[in-house]
């Protein structure tokens, strides 16, 4: 926990931990560092996966279906308690935000029409059905594709080279959530692809669903390793375990008192 963190920011992190575990991510940690990224994540969470397969039962002499563990789903939560931390200073921010708002409304209208006229986009083939809304982005409908590309360009102009923009661009996780205080940001102001969780008293309200980013197994497995490492550091702090004691044990010496 950084000494400079405000009580409001700490509370958003606490609520993010609760929300993640209540929504199927039982493996969580704060202040997680990822490979090849210079950022530390406020909260990282992992949902274990599973697959159904046939396994030969020697006792029964036949194959039977069993559930086996598999690489699961990764999610990150970036907490912002003040607007100054959220939007980078930009001379044209007002103009960009107004244009983003207009295009976001237009995209919503187009998605209504796509849902009616292109039901194949919602055929439920997503590994995680709750995120199949991202299937809209597979549409080859020219006006919709144009709007999506324009929104991505404007988002880069507004949020370019910020932590959130880079986390999404560098495939930090399958799902990216921005966690904020009430009335801190409008839905259309968040970076493209991010979900939005807004504090509502002592809980978080999901305002915008994130875009699902498919990632290779090795990236998701490395993510799990980093969450476990951050959890171990936290456990060591609480238990009073430090590097000196670990090194003494490694050398076969009595740990210092």
> How far, in Å, CA of 112 to CA of 102, rounded?
16
By CB atoms closer than 10 A (0-12, 13-18, 19+), residue 28 is: buried
The single-letter DSSP state of residue 121 is G
Give the per-residue pLDDT at 63: 83
Domains and CATH numbers, the chain: 1-52+62-88+160-246 (3.40.1350), 90-159 (no CATH)
221's tokens: 């497995």
Q: Which residues of the chain have pLDDT under 50?
A: 89-92, 123-129, 132, 134
Give the per-residue pLDDT at 177: 96
Under 8 Å between Cβ of 179 and 15: yes
36's tokens: 């090849």
> In 3-state terms, what secondary structure has residue 114?
helix
DSSP letters, 203-237, are EEEEEEPPPP----HHHHHHHHHHHHHHHHHHHHH
> Which among 145, 200, 203, 159 is positioned nearest to 19, based on CA atoms?
203
**Parallel, antiparallel, or unpaired: how do β-strands 175-180 and 195-200 relate?**
parallel
DSSP letters, 43-103, are EEEEEEEEEEEEEEETTTTEEEEEEEEEEEEEEEEEEESSGGGTS---TTHHHHHHHHHHH
Q: Per DSSP, what are the bridge partners of residue 40?
A: 33
Under 8 Å between Cβ of 20 and 197: no
Give the per-residue pLDDT at 199: 96
For residue 172, the surrounding DSSP H or E stretch is: none
Residue 24 falls in which region: left (phi positive, over 0), alpha (psi -120 to 50) or beta? left
Residue 45 phi, psi dihedral angles, 5° rounding: -140, 155
Strands lying side by side in the sheet with 203-208: 27-33, 40-57, 62-80, 175-180, 195-200, 203-208
Give the per-residue pLDDT at 92: 45
**Cα three-residue angle 38-185-156, rounded to 5 degrees:** 50
Residues 6+ apart with CB under 8 A from 129: none
């Amino acid at each position: 926990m950084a000494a400079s963190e405000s009580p409001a920011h700490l509370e958003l992190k606490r609520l993010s931990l609760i929300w993640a575990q209540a929504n199927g991510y039982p493996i969580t940690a704060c202040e997680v560092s990822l490979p090849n990224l210079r950022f530390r994540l406020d909260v990282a969470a992992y949902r274990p996966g599973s697959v159904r397969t046939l396994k030969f039962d020697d006792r029964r002499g036949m194959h039977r279906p069993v559930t086996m563990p598999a690489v699961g789903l990764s999610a990150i939560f970036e907490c912002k308690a003040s607007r100054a931390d959220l939007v980078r200073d930009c001379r044209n921010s007002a103009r960009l935000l107004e244009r983003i708002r207009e295009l976001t409304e237009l995209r919503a209208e187009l998605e209504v029409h796509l849902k009616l006229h292109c039901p194949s986009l919602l055929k439920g083939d997503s590994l995680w059905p709750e995120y199949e809304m991202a299937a809209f982005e597979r549409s080859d409908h020219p006006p919709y594709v144009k709007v999506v590309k324009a929104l991505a360009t404007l988002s880069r102009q507004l949020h370019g080279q910020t932590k959130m923009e880079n986390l999404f661009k560098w495939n930090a996780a399958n799902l990216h959530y921005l966690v904020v205080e009430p009335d801190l940001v409008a839905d259309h102001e968040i970076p493209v692809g991010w979900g939005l969780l807004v504090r509502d008293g002592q809980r978080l309200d999901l305002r915008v669903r994130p875009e699902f980013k498919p990632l290779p197994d090795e990236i998701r497995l490395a993510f799990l390793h980093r969450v476990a490492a951050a959890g171990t550091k936290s456990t060591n702090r609480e238990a009073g375990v430090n590097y000196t004691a670990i090194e003494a044990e490694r050398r076969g010496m009595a740990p210092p008192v």
